[in-house]
Amino acid sequence: MLFAALSLVCLAACGRSATSESGAQGAGAPQAATFPPAPAAETTGGFDGARAYKHVEQLVAIGPHSAGSDGIRRAQDYIIGQLKSFGCPVEEENFHAPSTPVGDVAMKNVLVKIPSANPNIILYGSHYDTKRIPNFVGADDAGSSTGVLLELARLLCARKNAETVWLAFFDGEEAFNFNWVNPDNTYGSRELAASLALSGDLRRVKAMILVDMVGPANPVFKRESNSTPWLTDILWSTAARLGYGKVFINELADVSDDHFSFLNRDIPSADIIDIDVPYWHTAQDTLDKVDPRTLAITGHVLIESLPELEKKIK
Ligand SMILES: [Zn+2]
């Protein structure tokens, strides 16, 4: 997630996002010392926040897993193993980022392609690599959205969808250098967008929805200002309808992220992210920062916005 452009926005906006929006469960509730509760899946469109949280827990237990590290191979094994256990068709996109600041790095995107009779594709994405910082396990930054995408995969692979749905777990989103300076970031999403452009499949992608940092206990998701307005509208209006209007707010934030790889190729794309957290890119991004309820809210919005999305792009 971007440092440079955000910092400008942050001057005006970043100080305020710690305000509590935790409505339904009581404002300001401290993180429970034990396993925090998640809303029942029946109340969130079948999306199980507790299952999503368990994935985050497992990914954190792997330890740091930045691109090219030993840890990331264990993260890949975990993600692929879980997806296969759900009956998802899994593909691995292996590639090299030849000129990173640390040299050539072997990377892997993990893809799920759920077929349907309709060729139009809805693509969900999350990065799963953690930032290359000592002792950084990235519970929120990579873990939370990866857990959400895994749980989404469990639901979507088990049913017939009106459109083709793909899920992409991106490697190499994080910059190797501490600061986010192009092109040292979004290696995996740029690779996928490029390979889809080559194969001709990119034009079938009618919507790309990215999730990233969807774990904090008091989330505030602002409309990412570079994202495609109609797509953001569908997500945010669904959230409002479900009663999450104080979580998905109408303020704007400018965040560079994996969705830029698709926006830059004219694919409608949106990003759900709360980057405005004090532990961002520090070793304090630990499991206690992730709330299963926020994972459930995010998943609920993704699942419930799908019918409208399908109508829009069919
Ligand atoms: Zn990050």
The DSSP string of the chain is --SHHHHHHHHHHGGGTTS---GGG-TTPPPPSS------GGGTTT--HHHHHHHHHHHHHH----TTSHHHHHHHHHHHHHHHHTT--EEEEEEEEEEETTEEEEEEEEEEEE--SS--EEEEEEE-PPPSSTT---IIIIIIHHHHHHHHHHHHHTS--SSEEEEEEES--S-SSSS--TTSS-HHHHHHHHHHHHHTGGGGEEEEEEEES---SS--EEEETTS-HHHHHHHHHHHHHTT-TTTEEEEEE----TTHHHHTTT--EEEEE----TTTTSTT--GGG--HHHHHHHHHHHHHHHHHHHHHH-
Ligand 1 center to residue 132 CA distance, Å? 9
Predicted pLDDT at 314 = 82
Ligand 1 center to residue 117 CA distance, Å? 36
**Phi, psi of 304, deg, nearest 5:** -75, -20
CA 284 to chain centre: 19
Predicted pLDDT at 30 = 45
Predicted pLDDT at 272 = 98
Predicted pLDDT at 37 = 82
pTM of the model: 0.89
Ligand 1 center to residue 284 CA distance, Å? 13
Ligand 1 center to residue 254 CA distance, Å? 15
Ligand 1 center to residue 196 CA distance, Å? 25
Ligand 1 center to residue 104 CA distance, Å? 21
Predicted pLDDT at 20 = 33
Ligand 1 center to residue 216 CA distance, Å? 14
CA 285 to chain centre: 16
**Run means of pLDDT, 10 residues per run, the chain, 314 residues:** 44 32 38 68 94 98 98 98 98 97 98 96 98 97 98 97 96 97 97 98 98 97 98 98 96 97 98 97 97 97 96 90
Ligand 1 center to residue 153 CA distance, Å? 22
Spatial separation of the C-alpha atoms in residues 67 and 129, rounded to whole Å: 6
Ligand 1 center to residue 257 CA distance, Å? 9
Task: Give the sign of the dihedral formed by CA 37, CA 41, CA 45, CA 47.
Answer: positive
Predicted pLDDT at 7 = 42
Predicted pLDDT at 1 = 52
Ligand 1 center to residue 2 CA distance, Å? 8
Ligand 1 center to residue 214 CA distance, Å? 12
Would strands 221-224 and 248-253 be described as parallel, antiparallel, or unpaired?
A: parallel
Ligand 1 center to residue 282 CA distance, Å? 10
Ligand 1 center to residue 1 CA distance, Å? 5
CA 258 to chain centre: 9
Ligand 1 center to residue 137 CA distance, Å? 11
Predicted pLDDT at 17 = 32
Would strands 269-273 and 103-114 be described as parallel, antiparallel, or unpaired?
A: unpaired
- In the block, residue with structure tokens 């090299």: 96
Ligand 1 center to residue 198 CA distance, Å? 28
Ligand 1 center to residue 112 CA distance, Å? 23
Token couple for 271: 């990003």
Ligand 1 center to residue 62 CA distance, Å? 17
Token couple for 47: 């999306």
Spatial separation of the C-alpha atoms in residues 173 and 187, rounded to whole Å: 6
